[in-house]
Structure 1
């Protein structure tokens, strides 16, 4: 029996996932959590084999919660289950230690297979996500934005100034400016607005 923890801040989503997962004889939902903090606590108590983790939640969020889960002695296998598939979201989840990334509109059978594969130690990526990662690897180094550059650009898209970005990312304002220079060069733009527009158009970030 594969033990599963569902982490999502929407009760209806959790209930729906529980219903479809519990229909499988070899899968069992052993707990639910509505925040990243709750997820870590429930994982310690429920000892799941696999965690289905949403990304956008109140508190520390899915990526940070995933990182904490992978640091546990009995760390579960984490599958990001979300509606978002931008480069920034994908990278944040996988770099935090997730072994899989699936979209919520996937058929139940694909989710079941992903859970079983993750429990068996395999990496499970949605086909669209895998394609995005391959495309990113194939990008010329000059054009590929780093994870930090994506974080800076994501903050710019939220309307944050350099000082606020520096505080959020725990870096200096000078470093923020340097990142912006590199971002402008890689995207072939010369303004913050144009950089955001180009990044959204390429699927690198999303507007909140």
Structure 2
């Protein structure tokens, strides 16, 4: 089944470029375009796309507000933030608001497509060259105030995730099955009250587990 994508960016040329890249893939269909944040929220709620690609800076509502609106509630939507800034505090805010990843506008077609597919499958994109550097840059210097409530194996999985490893790479590195890695991550999210693997990575950096 085709992955249904909504594009939200205030620049028509950018939306056109993103549409060309995505619709060149046999498994991705762009179902709508929004020129500002408020329109993005309205269209996403009406069209229920599998993934919304949202610019970080848009009129009326920015990418953080769009993300917060679409990921809240019992039936959240998946949002990937698109930005021109690789160390932008707004991106970090969007991840904390519930975005399942972000890509740079100049990162190239392959990464954009990978981000969409990862978001659709629930295996959010965490790029070692972008996201991990952002999380490391913004992580507080203070150690965690409470003991980490994870098992030794869960901690190993979280540490690998925060360093930018995919589920398959974590499985290979730790000699685990892919299903076991996913199970560990599911338990970690439940223990910590986190919504997705991006939030788990942010938590790991905050608690100095990724160094």
Cα distance change of structure 1 residues 135 and 62 upon mapping to structure 2, 3 Å threshold: closer
Deviation, 1:40, is: 0.9
- Moved segments of 4+, more than 6 Å: none
2:109 corresponds in structure 1 to: 108
In structure 2, what is the equivalent of residue 130 of structure 1? 132
* 1:107 positional shift: 1.4
Tell me by how many angstroms 1:57 deviates: 0.8
Deviations 1:110-156 (A, max 9, x none): 1111110110001213322212313443x5229xxxxxxxxxxxxxx
Q: Deviations over 1:63-82 (max 9, x none)?
A: 00110011255422110011
The alignment partner of 1:124 has SS state of coil
TM-score if structure 2 supplies the norm length?
Answer: 0.63
Whole-Å separation in 2 of the counterparts to 1:67 and 1:55:
12
SS at match of 1:116: helix
The alpha-carbon deviation at position 15 of structure 1 amounts to 0.8
Q: Which residue number in structure 1 is paired with residue 37 of structure 2?
A: 36
- Alpha-carbon spacing, 1:29–1:72, altered in 2? closer, same or farther (3 Å): farther
Aligned length: 141
Cα contact 2:102–2:115 (8 A) shared by 1: no
1:65-116 CA-partner distances (Å, limit 9, x unpaired):
1100112554221100110223412221111110101100111011111110
Q: How much is the aligned-residue C-alpha RMSD, in angstroms?
A: 1.7
User: Alpha carbons of 1:41 and 1:72: their partners in 2 closer, same or farther (altered >3 Å)?
Assistant: farther
Unaligned runs of 5+ in 1: 143-208
Gaps of 5+ in 2: 144-211
Match of residue 4 from structure 2: 3
Post-superposition CA distance 1:138-193 (Å, at most 9, x none): x5229xxxxxxxxxxxxxxxxxxxxxxxxxxxxxxxxxxxxxxxxxxxxxxxxxxx
